[in-house]
Structure formats: C-alpha cells, structure tokens
Structure 1
Amino acid sequence: MTRIRAFSGAMTGAALLAMPLALTACGSSDKDFVQERTVERIATEQLTNAIGVTPEDLDCPGDLEGKVGTEMTCVLTSEGEKYDAIITVDEVDGGRVHFQIDVPPNATE
C-alpha cells in the first residue's frame, strides 16, 4: 500500500465516522508561544503515530500563541497531496501548551 493510500484511507475512515482526524499534542513553552518548528515536529510525530504514515512535510505559518482558542492552519503534504492541518490550542497549563491537530479529509487546492 502506498503512503498516500494509507493516509487517504485514514482520512476516509475518519470522514465516514463524521469526524476528522483529530489528535491532541503538547508543547513546552516558557513564553507565550510554542515555536513553529516545535509545533511542526510534534504534530508530525502525532500524525505518524496515529496513522502509521509519516507526512512528507508539515508547514505551519509561524509560532503558535499559547492562548486557549488560538487556531492556525498548517499545510500537510503526503505524496504530493496537500491537506489543511488545523492546530487549535485547547489548554494551557503552566509552561505546557496542549493543542489539537485536526486534518479534514479533503485535499486542498
């Protein structure tokens, strides 16, 4: 099975359940944000663990503000197909910023 098929299969399975692929991750910060490269690394690790496929790339537009409700859209690439990966901060506990990774099943243009 190719990586794109595995990735798409995971996305399709999630869509059939009327739920996008959503994961929760956590980054450390002694400031008011989590660095972009840290968000990308943690999100990539969580996606790999969840679906068994490592995305080719995950590109976020910048640092993630450590404030509940903060949302940013990153671009996930798997075998040439691009997907939105929506990162949302759902909890801040001291120096730990918990965020959800939501990958809707449709490829972006």
Structure 2
Amino acid sequence: MVLSTTLKKQFEINESWLSKNWTGVCDQLQKLTEPTLIITGTEDKAVPADNSLVLIDKIPVSWLVQIKDAGHGLMYQYPETFTSIVKTFLNLTDKNKR
C-alpha cells in the first residue's frame, strides 16, 4: 500500500517531469543509441502512462508498449504478457545487431 502523501508527491514530480523544458539528464535521452523498451500500464497511478509518450519522443531507438488496464505492477498483473513483450523485444533487437 502506498501512502497518499507519497502518491501526491509522486504526482507533483511527474507533472514537473512531463514538462517539455527538461534539463540535465533528460536532455541526454536523445543521445541513446541502443534499442530501448518502454512498457507502461494504462492505469498506472504512480507513474502516468502519458510519461511514456514523452520518453518515446526523446529516445530515438525506442519501442513503446502500453498494456491496457495494467497498473504500476504490470509485470505481476500480466506476467505472461510482460514476459512475451520483453522476449520479443530482446529477440528482435538481438537479431538486428548481427
């Protein structure tokens, strides 16, 4: 169980994080050259799924998968789906390196 005060602070941080005027580390995301998998749940209350849209925009070689109805613990809610997505990503990106 997450305390409401913790969730409130997380949401405040997320709102700030979502702004397009990132500085520091976030500006470095565009320099990533390795394939990057971003997985999120559409019902994540700790880290809103909209954050993933910002990441996909900032990271050039990235995949985005949003799992419908999943929350922050999507890997526990949908372990088979999560595992299948990760295996597919790893298999395809590994083949592209050869």
Does TM-score exceed 0.5, indicating one fold?
no
Higher RCO structure, 1 or 2 (CA under 8 Å, sep 6+): 1
The structure in which a higher percent of residues are strand is: 1
Q: Which has the higher helix share?
A: 2
Structure of greater Rg: 2
